[in-house]
Structure 1
Amino acid sequence: MRKQLDTVISPKSKLTKPITKPKATWVEPKFFADVEYRDITSEGLLRASSFKGLFRDDKS
């Protein structure tokens, strides 16, 4: 997964809501993540999430 993400590294975040994360590496939104989760918290975070796979969007 790291090799795939290294091909789309971005110098800054594309998020509209700022996140403070030391040593974060931002990437262009070229992939879709398949994730299952039980709920979304009041802060908008996924609860009991499980990563299922990463897929590239070749249309963009």
Structure 2
Amino acid sequence: MNKIAILNFKGGPGKTITAANLSHALTLKPQNVLMVDCDLKMAYWVVIWNPEETKIDELL
């Protein structure tokens, strides 16, 4: 299993969207991908994960 970390201490440089785009690109291979975003604000959470389609307990 490979692990990739995207980090920067400054807020707003695009870490979440970079991780989302990279995760999407890796699923095209096809590979299993688990993206974990540790942003406490979770601004893009709803964009990346639709809780109506997949429940969090099913995902984990």
- Structure showing greater relative contact order (alpha-carbon pairs closer than 8 Å, 6 or more residues apart): 1
For the criterion TM > 0.5, the same-fold answer is no
Which has the larger share of strand?
A: 1
Task: State TM-score, norm by structure 1.
Answer: 0.18
Higher-Rg structure is 1
Task: State TM-score, norm by structure 2.
Answer: 0.18
